[in-house]
Amino acid sequence: MATELDALVVEKANKWLEGNYDEATKKQVKYLLENDKKELVDSFYKDLEFGTGGLRGIMGVGTNRMNIYTVGMATQGLANYLKKNFHDQEIKVAIAHDSRNNSRLFSEHVADIFASNGFRVYMFDSLRPTPELSFAIRQLECQSGVMVTASHNPKEYNGYKAYWEDGSQVTAPHDTNIIAEVAKITAIDQILTGKNKENITVLDGDFDDIYLNRIKELSLSPDAVAKNSDMKIVYTPIHGTGVILVPASLRKFGFKNISTVKEQNIIDGNFPTVASPNPEERATMKMAFDLGVKEKADIILATDPDGDRLGVAVPANKEKTEYVLLNGNQTCLLLTYYLCRRWSDLGRINGKQYIVKTIVTTEMLPRVAESFGVKYYDCLTGFKYIAEIIRNHEGTGWQYIGGGEESFGYLPEDFVRDKDGVSSCTMAAEAAAWAKSEGMSLFELLKEMYVKYGFYKEGLVSVVRKGKEGADEIKKMMSDFRATPPASICGSPVVTVKDYMSGEILDVVSGKKTALTIKEKSNVLQFLTEDGTIVSVRPSGTEPKIKFYFGVREPLASVDKYEEVNAQLDAKIEQMKKELGLI
């Protein structure tokens, strides 16, 4: 098998030496052939594929790397698919990019290819956040769009998110059909370039104003904001696209006291001040925390490089000398509670409202929604599935309130169809202002919610396994879990196994199998225990890792018991990690 793979890799690499590729690329391929077999295999053993987040990979030469050729072939394949689907109308596409190295280069190449295929192209004049790209597709009535980004991945990565006419990332059957069209592009000479430059229209700050004005319409507590307009806010864009729009949105809502981390306002794809540009990581937020302590901030906000994810930190004490970085579940809970509470206060809830969460997001969310008479939906991981549920409710009279996922993504509106760090940061600030008017901080509100709904706590372990060897190892791990699921977790028997690949729920006690309500297939396993614990196992669709999600719960009798119960839940999560051999 190894010999066959080696032969295939060498054959693919030699095609790059023989084809119409630039000399620098050929030189690097030749170097790999002669000096670095492992990197050669990782670069050519497969083609980049669309996962839950589109096309994403390490930048470099090869079919399994992000470069102008793989980006070009994907774009030509997408163009061919668009022509098949919309052959009787003018095709319009929107393009945006983040701050990563080569993002502008890739986006200009994408624009050139679309224009050369005869499409009307809308391209931003400089970097813009992912949610604004989704908004532009809908606002400009495009059939598709592309966002060049690798989200919060390390600096060596870049990516390519393909969007459909509803502003959502592509879902089935379009995703697999696009891949099929891309597979038909067997030579870069098939890519159309260098034509119809007049088809490209540049979007500038005027379009930003349209987007920001729509976000302003989301405001639910203008009186609370006016009362607390000098509330101290610290924000960092982590060298990315939120640098202009997040502060602008906060000011448009009425907030006046906004401090930014100046060193991280600098647009730089090397992300020089952080090891990883991911607001999920406390180390990434250190400079924002330091500024927060200095300014005695009421809330600290952050967005990742493409501005779709948000990080929220709140004071841990009244002196504001220490800050708690909320995890994605906690942010999702607070935003959902705030939206539902204010919709209820304003008389907007009539039994035809709903929220959406992913299957690995906290099970406390349904309890919050139900307490306000709001329906909830579960969906697979990936914001395109949240967007799909919104799309399915269009024209039915049902109203979307909000939706999110544990990986720091939230969407408080339906005029964007991807997670929106710009609007979510602004609504988080408004929620903090509202809570302040009610005499509490967001952290105090969260504790009160735990008393009311139960203390739900989640944990996550990501096991990274790079390259082909890593992909094989992750595949084996999933196979082993399917063959031999755990009999118990932390002493509590596993009573239910959900397999989203087979689409079945197994009742362990009776042996009976029933069908999952979610019909889409995904390589996810969930183990539910007698005491309400949930462990989910899922290979990432966009990164070389397998993720383990842990969910535990206990009652919280009163706020003053928070630290005690929090420690108990932490200990239980750590014990589960040990049992699964993760630490």
DSSP, collapsed to helix, strand or coil, labels residue 148 as strand
DSSP, collapsed to helix, strand or coil, labels residue 533 as coil
Q: Which two tokens stand for residue 443?
A: 């952290």
Pairing outcome for strands 233-236 and 299-303: parallel
Residue in 488, 487, 504, 506 with CA at minimum distance from that of residue 496: 506
Answer yes or no: are the C-beta atoms of 158 and 102 closer than 8 Å.
yes
Q: Is the dihedral of CA 514, 516, 521, 522 positive or negative?
A: negative
DSSP-assigned letter for residue 54: B
Catalytic residue selected from 43, 99, 116, 151: 151
262: amino acid identity, one letter: K
Answer yes or no: are the C-beta atoms of 124 and 206 closer than 8 Å.
no
Which residues are CB-contacts of 326 (< 8 A; sequence separation ≥ 6)? 311, 312, 313, 314, 334, 442, 446
CA distances from 183 to 9, 180, 217, 375, 381 (A): 17, 5, 44, 41, 26
**CA–CA distance, 225 with 431 (Å, rounded to integer):** 9
Answer yes or no: are the C-beta atoms of 66 and 55 closer than 8 Å.
yes
409: amino acid identity, one letter: G
C-alpha atoms less than 13 angstroms from C-alpha of 32 in its C-beta half-sphere: 25
559: amino acid identity, one letter: V
Answer yes or no: are the C-beta atoms of 9 and 468 closer than 8 Å.
no
Answer yes or no: are the C-beta atoms of 209 and 135 closer than 8 Å.
no
What are the beta bridge partners of residue 476? none
Which residues are CB-contacts of 61 (< 8 A; sequence separation ≥ 6)? 16, 25, 28, 29, 32, 43, 67
- Is 151 annotated as catalytic? yes
Length of the chain: 583
Q: What b/e string do you get for 450-480 counting C-beta neighbours within 10 Å, with b at 16 or more?
A: beebebbbbbbbebebebbebbeebeebbee
Residue in 456, 358, 464 with CA at minimum distance from that of residue 407: 358
Answer yes or no: are the C-beta atoms of 356 and 376 closer than 8 Å.
yes
Q: Which two tokens stand for residue 217?
A: 């319409």
Burial (CB < 10 A; 0-12, 13-18, 19+), residue 316, is: middle
Task: Kindly list the catalytic residues.
Answer: 151
